[in-house]
Amino acid sequence: MSIYQRDPRAGAFLGGERTSGQEIRDQNVVAAQSIANVVKSSLGPLGLDKMLVDNFGEVTISNDGATILSMIEVQSPSARIFVDLAQKQDKEVGDGTTSVVIIAAELLRRANDLVKSKIHPTTVITGYRLACREACKFMVDQISVKVDTLGKDALINAAKTSMASKIIGSDDDLFAPMAVDAMLAVKTINNRGEIKYPVKAVNILKAHGKSARESIFVKGYALNCTVASQAMKTRIVNAKIACLDINLQKTRMHLGVQVLIDDPDQLEEIRKRESEITLERIHKILAAGANVVLTTKGIDDLCLKEFVEAGAMAVRRCKKEDLRRIAKATGATLVSSLANLEGEETFEASYLGMAEEVVQERIADDELILVKGTKVVSSSSIILRGANDYMLDEMERALHDTLSIIKRTLESGAVVPGGGAVETALSIYLENFATTLGSREQLAIAEFANALLIIPKILTVNAAKDSTELVAKLRFYHSAAQNAPTGDPKKVLLHYGLDLLNGEVRNNVKAGVLEPTMSKIRSLKSAFEAAVSLLRIDDAIRCIPEPKPERDEHGH
């Protein structure tokens, strides 16, 4: 159906298409389902990978929801909301990107069925909001377990759970403790006295060759560079580090600058001055006390001589991102120009960062520079080994997710059992809660409860097990647990979830399948908000761009 709107600004007629009412809702549901179907088979420890090829033929192999969705070209505006949802979840929590999209799509589909049954969208939204609030409250009060009671093992188990669905899942006995050590090494206390664990302080380097089991953990920040000259020292204790974003090569006059000279000696003077300018800069940096100089640009051979004589270490062509992190960890300032406000070139000693030692070491087949014992934030590095680039990239993504999960567990201090335990418990709880309401919102809450069961169902289907039987068993256990009085031994059944390898139901807290409570709450809230934002839409108006006037054969 086409409409014409009058545009008051342009005074012209705008052509456009309008889709409204049930039609647009159905379109949104189809878009959401199609996005969820793409990532559905990659959920869980036995999920499958996707191979994505872009326009240039670059290949990515991954089963990380956010990565898959960010590589897909999506036309529908409502589907873009879901792609965005996965990326936000990846940014905020780091893991759970696949499940958040699946739950949101299921919530939207069920809400649409309710609207078809003549229940107003506002009623559905109110019911969903109530259900989401109750679910989060129940999760924190009843299912959540404090990490203190479980010790360091809880962190390693949470890391293993996050890795289970990734490429490094088969080697989790090596990678989980490594990731936990790396995160514990970067513990910092911010200005407000809160303990934080920045994921970015863990540097992940990738090196070809060997097997994944040869990956190593290094205390200190590792740089994939070597010293600029063989004559330099390769180990400096009590390092004072200058981080520069300046070219330490002979300065040449800018293009377009003309200098008229009448004496050939003057030309020699200009050349001499050009090389002196850079040498003066180096002397200023060394005079401030710097004995390690890291720069993102090049260093001239002429200048290298100065560093060698001064007994300093110089490293060129570092990545800017690395230098930013080193500057943060050592308390240095990344300097992009030596000029101060008066226009004079100076280098203050306060720009330098401190570290216990900077050393060049040979790790595997590569020479790396390690910055150890950084002053402000302690840093750690993980050097990954693998057969090829695709594998290394996927290992890096998996490790990022795992580090984020450990960070969330450490900062929030609470975990919940994984393997569909939380979703089943919430589903039973919300079904019972819905019957206590006398208003029409109870229908929406019941649908919310059923929607959550999609996670255990897909987990079992991906593991090639009988989903109907296992989900029914889970529901039976959780129903018994919630009906039992406080203090009853049956309350332990709340921790029961799926054991997908053996196709059974087991106590997942004992088995060590754990996820941070924070991650579950975030994904539930995000899924609810995404579903509601699309449910609110009842009209879509698409403007058609104005046609350009056609040219005649003379080009007019």
Q: Is 343 helix (H, G, I), strand (E, B) or coil?
A: coil
pLDDT of residue 11: 37
pLDDT of residue 451: 92
Residues 492 and 70 sit within 8 Å (Cβ to Cβ): no
Q: Residues of 343-360 as b/e, b for ≥16 C-beta within 10 angstroms?
A: eeeebeeebbbebeebbb
- Exactly one of 95, 401, 460, 499 is catalytic; which is it? 401
Q: Report how far residue 295's alpha carbon sits from residue 389's, in angstroms, rounded to the nearest whole number.
A: 27
Tens-digit pLDDT profile for the chain (556 aa)?
444 444 444 334 446 777 877 888 898 899 899 989 988 998 888 888 889 888 888 888 888 888 888 888 888 888 888 888 888 888 887 778 888 999 999 999 999 999 999 899 899 999 999 999 999 999 888 888 887 776 778 888 888 888 888 888 788 888 888 888 888 888 877 777 778 888 887 888 888 777 888 888 888 888 888 888 787 888 888 888 888 888 877 766 666 777 777 777 777 787 777 777 778 888 888 888 888 888 888 887 777 888 888 888 888 888 888 888 888 888 888 888 777 777 777 788 888 888 888 888 877 667 888 888 777 777 788 888 888 888 888 888 888 888 888 888 888 888 888 888 899 999 999 999 999 888 888 999 999 999 999 999 999 998 888 889 999 999 998 898 888 877 777 888 888 888 888 888 888 888 888 888 888 898 899 999 989 998 888 888 878 776 677 776 676 6
Q: What sign does the dihedral 18-24-27-32 (CA atoms) show? A: positive
- Only one residue has tokens 């030596």, namely 338
Query: What residues have CB less than 8 Å from 271, skipping those under 6 apart?
Result: none
End-to-end CA distance of the chain: 35
What is the rounded radius of gyration, in angstroms, for the C-alpha atoms of the chain? 30
Q: Report how far residue 234's alpha carbon sits from residue 249's, in angstroms, rounded to the nearest whole number.
A: 22
Which DSSP state fits 155?
Answer: H
Residues 299 and 248 sit within 8 Å (Cβ to Cβ): yes
What are residue 488's phi and psi, to 5 degrees? -75, 140
pTM of the model: 0.80
Residues 415 and 515 sit within 8 Å (Cβ to Cβ): yes
Closest CA to 97 of 131, 73, 62, 132: 62
pLDDT of residue 413: 82
- Exactly one of 67, 90, 95, 98 is catalytic; which is it? 98
pLDDT of residue 555: 66
- Exactly one of 67, 90, 95, 97 is catalytic; which is it? 97
Complete edge-to-edge strand list for the sheet that includes strand 145-146: 145-146, 414-417, 514-516
Task: Extract the tokens encoding 395.
Answer: 């290992």
Q: Residue 550: which H helix or E strand, with range? A: none
Instruction: Please indicate whether residue 301 is annotated as part of the active site.
Output: no
Pinpoint the alpha helices (H) of 117-262: 121-138, 152-164, 172-185
Q: Find residue 498's DSSP bridge partners.
A: 505
Burial class (CB in 10 A: 0-12, 13-18, 19+), 148: exposed
Q: Is 131 helix (H, G, I), strand (E, B) or coil?
A: helix
Instruction: Please indicate whether residue 97 is annotated as part of the active site.
Output: yes
Instruction: Please indicate whether residue 552 is annotated as part of the active site.
Output: no
Q: Residue 55: which H helix or E strand, with range? A: none
pLDDT of residue 15: 63
Instruction: Please indicate whether residue 141 is annotated as part of the active site.
Output: no
User: Which domains are present in the chain?
Assistant: 2-145+417-461+472-483+516-542 (1.10.560.10), 221-377 (3.50.7.10)
Residue 542 CB: number of other CB atoms within 10 A?
10
